[in-house]
Amino acid sequence: MRRLRSLYEERRQDIILASMQVPSLALCDFAAKHPAGYCEYPDPRERIEFWDAHLRERMPIGDDSIPVAYLSEMDQGLYGGLLGGEVRFLCDPATGWISSMVPPLLRDWTEFAQLSFSRDHEWFRRYFRQLDIFVEAARGRFGISHFILINSLNLVFELVGATKTYITLLEQPEMIAKALALAFDLNLMVQNTFFGRVSLLEGGTCSNMVQWIPGRIISESVDPFHMTSVAYFERWGREPLEKMFAQFDGGVAHIHGNGRHLLEAVSSVKGLKALYLGDDKGFPSAFEVLPQLKRRVGDLPLVVGAEYGDFWQALQEQRLVGGVFYRVSGVPDVETANRCMDLVHEYKL
C-alpha cells in the first residue's frame, strides 16, 4: 500500500505501478458452468466462493494489486431496482462477472412523480444481505471494492433511456433537474450503506478501478457525456460529480475511448483522485497514446490497460510514462509476472 499511497496521495510522477493478469483456473471453471447471456440473480454465497478461489490463485504474484471482490450484481441494476424497475442480470464468462441493468422505468415523464425508494424495498434487503455475506467471507482474507454509482444522467438513462434523456435535456430541462436531485439522494443512501458496512482497509477504500486509495472514495461515471460536447458536461455533469465527491473524501472516475474529449474538464473536477482510461473499438488504446493523454491531465494519477507484449517492450526500452498504474493483461504465467514486476519496482524516471 505504500506504493499506492505514493501514487494516489502524493501524486508521484517518477514511479510506475502495475498489476499482472495471468490465466485463472477459477475463471475457466466459472466459464464452464456459466454460459454467456441473461441469467437469474445468483446466490451471493456462490459468488463470494468464486472471488475467494480467483483471488487465492493470485497470492504468488508480487504485483501492486490488492485482492478485492466486486459486487457486480449490484453495479447498475440495484439503483433502478430500488425505484421499482425490472432488474436483469447478464453473465460474462470472460471476467467472472454477473452484472445487472434495468430497462427504462418510465413510459413518459408524467410518471416521474410516482417514483420513490426505501430501505424496506426487496432490493435493498438483497443488497444488505449480499454485503453481509461478502464482508463475513472476506474478513482477514481480501477486501470488498466500492462499486459504481448511477448518478447524474446515468440514472436518467435508467428512467427513460438514452435517446429520451438527450431529448429531455433540450425540451424539458426542468425534469432533468428533478431527476438529478432524485439520483443524488438515491446514490447517497446506497453508498453510505456500503461504507457503513464495509470497513476501510488501513484508512483507505478497496477499488476495482484503482486497487486501493486513501479515504472513503466513491467510483463515479461520466458515460452519458461521452456522446455530448464538453459544454453539456459543464452544464449538467460537473456539479453532480463535485457535490457527490464532497459527501465523501473524493472519488475516482473512468472515461472510455469515445469520451477523451472530456479529459481536461473531468480531470479538473474538484475531489477527483484518479482516472481510469478505458479502451474501445474504433479508438487507439490509451496505452498507445498515453504520453499525449498524460499531458492533458497533469499530475492526476491514471490507470490504463496494456497487453503484456507491448508493456514488456516499453518497460525494456524505458518508454513508460510515470504517475500511472498499468493493468497488464495476457501475462503467460506467475513466474513471468514476477520477473516483470522486479523491473517495475526498479523503474526510474
Q: What is the residue extent of each domain of the chain?
A: 1-22+206-349, 24-57+67-200
Coil, helix or strand at residue 30: helix
Averaged pLDDT, 47-75: 97
Quick: pLDDT tens for 261-311. 999 999 999 999 999 999 999 999 999 999 999 999 999 999 999 999 999
Give the pLDDT confidence score for residue 136 in this predicted structure: 97
Phi and psi, residue 316, nearest 5°? -65, -35
Who contacts 91 (Cβ-Cβ below 8 Å, separation ≥6)? 34, 35, 36, 37, 38, 39, 97, 98
Q: Is the pTM of this model over 0.85?
A: yes
Q: Answer yes or no: are the C-beta atoms of 180 and 108 closer than 8 Å.
A: no
Quick: pLDDT tens for 208-259. 999 999 999 999 999 999 999 999 999 999 999 999 999 999 999 999 999 9
The amino acid that residue 129 corresponds to is R
The CA distance from 79 to 85, in Å, is 9
Give the pLDDT confidence score for residue 211 in this predicted structure: 98
The CA distance from 322 to 250, in Å, is 23
Coil, helix or strand at residue 21: coil
| Residue of 27, 69, 66, 31 lying closest to 52 (CA atoms) | 69
Report the half-sphere exposure of 301 (CA within 13 A, side-chain side): 30
| Residue of 102, 78, 100, 97 lying closest to 36 (CA atoms) | 97
pLDDT band of 188, cuts 50, 70, 90: very high
446514490: which residue's cell?
Answer: 187
Quick: pLDDT tens for 21-39. 999 999 999 999 999 999 9
Beta-carbon count within 10 A of 28 CB: 12
Averaged pLDDT, 68-81: 96
β-pair partners for 275: 253, 302
Coil, helix or strand at residue 101: strand
218-221 vs 143-144, strand pairing mode: unpaired
pLDDT band of 203, cuts 50, 70, 90: very high
Quick: pLDDT tens for 113-165. 999 999 999 999 999 999 999 999 999 999 999 999 999 999 999 999 999 99
Averaged pLDDT, 190-196: 98
For the segment(s) 24-57+67-200, the CATH number from 3.20.20.70, 3.40.30.10, 3.20.20.210, 1.10.599.10 is: 3.20.20.210
Type and span of the H or E element at 179: helix 173-197
Check the CA dihedral 169-173-175-179 and report its sign: positive
Quote the longest CA-to-CA distance of the chain.
61
Averaged pLDDT, 96-120: 97
